[in-house]
Amino acid sequence: MTNHAYTKAGVDIELGNRVKAGLPRLLAAARRPEVLGKVGGFGGLFALNCRRYRQPVLVSSVDGVGTKLKLAFAMDRHDTIGQDLVNHCVNDIAVLGAEPLFFLDYIGTGKLEPRVFEQIIRGFAQACAENRCALIGGETAQMPGFYSPGEYDVSGTIVGVVEKSRIIDGRRVRPGDVVIGLASSGLHTNGYSLARRVLFDRMKLKPASRLAELDRPVGEELLKVHVSYGPLLRALSRQSPSVRSGRGAVKAVAHITGGGFIDNVPRTLPSNCDAWIRRGAWEVPPIFEVLQRGGRISDAEMCQVFNMGIGMTLVASESDSGRLLRQIRARGHTAWPIGEIVAGSGRCRVE
């Protein structure tokens, strides 16, 4: 059946159906045994194996990738955006100790472009497979007149599970504990409104511009994929009991997203503790130095807008921290002891 009137209005249902017909092939690797049914139903089915848990707690989160999309539009490169979104969502629940179970995506656009759609979905599927997370369903909305030509928006919802007794909630954090920083790949998915203003409006650069400080064009630097720390945290939870308590060595975890250190680290602290982050304790990627200099941005604002090269922080006792660092580095992640926990009122200080 041909929907001439709807097609003339800008919504091509038949095109949407043809594009979605390729989803089973794209999503073949992004499955788990618990998934029931097929992609394309009104709802995704997932049979949680409750026998693996004494008290399973479901953990969920929803997010987008913000104005990083503007770089994808400018460079006509869309495969990394899907990876960014999945990895960001995985990290948001990993801070609580959760294993990701399934992910659902939303894509809204004025006109569906099959090539772009396939790149985005391929990114979703790749990241879901790497995180052992099922891509169980989603929604693609054609909304002519709502988006500028060639633009779209994406968001995602993730659901995971954690044993109630193994939730990482920061309650065991004490003064004297060590803050460990895990290296980011760059900006990840935050601070792009300011970064674009500095680089493209103020410094008059283009995505293809090269700077002596960077080993790749500016656009490629900004499109680096948001690192997923989920597999690392799951491995640490299996092999890292505390030498003192026998419980998990990781006491608190913060995903350093919008709000930087200043707003994110306190979300994991008891009300009687502060985190003291030491400047110079880690290698700050050159892109942040370019942004600070080009935008004349204060140190305080840099640490509240950007991750400054630290994508996630962990808190562990001093006696456990050395072993944790070795385990983290053995799994291919760069990490440093970047601070300590002191008595305070639940704030983060970068000094």
**Lowest mean per-residue pLDDT among 8-22, 272-286, 316-330:** 8-22
Helices (H), the chain: 4-8, 13-20, 23-26, 69-75, 79-94, 114-130, 192-196, 218-222, 230-239, 260-264, 286-295, 299-305, 318-330
C-alpha distances in Å from residue 45, one per residue of 40, 62, 85, 86: 11, 19, 22, 19
Tens of pLDDT, residues 27-56: 667 788 899 977 777 888 999 999 999 999
Tens digits of residue pLDDT in 241-255: 665 555 789 999 999
Question: How do beta strands 348-350 and 273-277 pair?
Answer: parallel
| Alpha carbons 283 and 279: distance in angstroms, whole number | 10
The overall pTM is greater than 0.85: yes
Pairwise pLDDT comparison (31 vs 106), residue with the higher score: 106
Nearest Cα neighbor of 61 from 155, 193, 186 is 155
Counts of helices then strands in the chain (DSSP H, E): 13, 12
CA atoms within 13 A on the CB side of 99: 19
Alpha carbons 259 and 136: distance in angstroms, whole number: 31
Q: Is the pLDDT of residue 81 over 60?
A: yes
Angle between helix 79-94 and 230-239 (nearest 10): 30
15: left (phi over 0), alpha (psi -120 to 50) or beta: alpha
CB 255 within 8 A of CB 92: yes
Q: Which domains does the chain have, with CATH numbers?
A: 8-166 (3.30.1330.10), 178-350 (3.90.650.10)
For 138, counting Cβ atoms within 10 Å of its Cβ (0-12 exposed, 13-18 middle, 19+ buried), the class is buried
| Residue from 234, 244, 6, 333 nearest 142 by CA | 6
The encoded tokens of residue 149 equal: 């030509």
Q: Residues 207-250: pLDDT tens digits?
A: 999 999 999 999 999 999 999 999 999 999 887 666 555 578 99
The span from the CA of 348 to the CA of 161, in Å, is: 29
Question: What pLDDT does residue 30 have?
Answer: 75
Rounded distance, CA 188 to CA 192, Å? 9
What is the separation, in whole angstroms, between the first and last Cα of the chain?
Answer: 66
pLDDT tens digits, residue range 117-143? Answer: 899 999 999 999 999 999 998 888 989
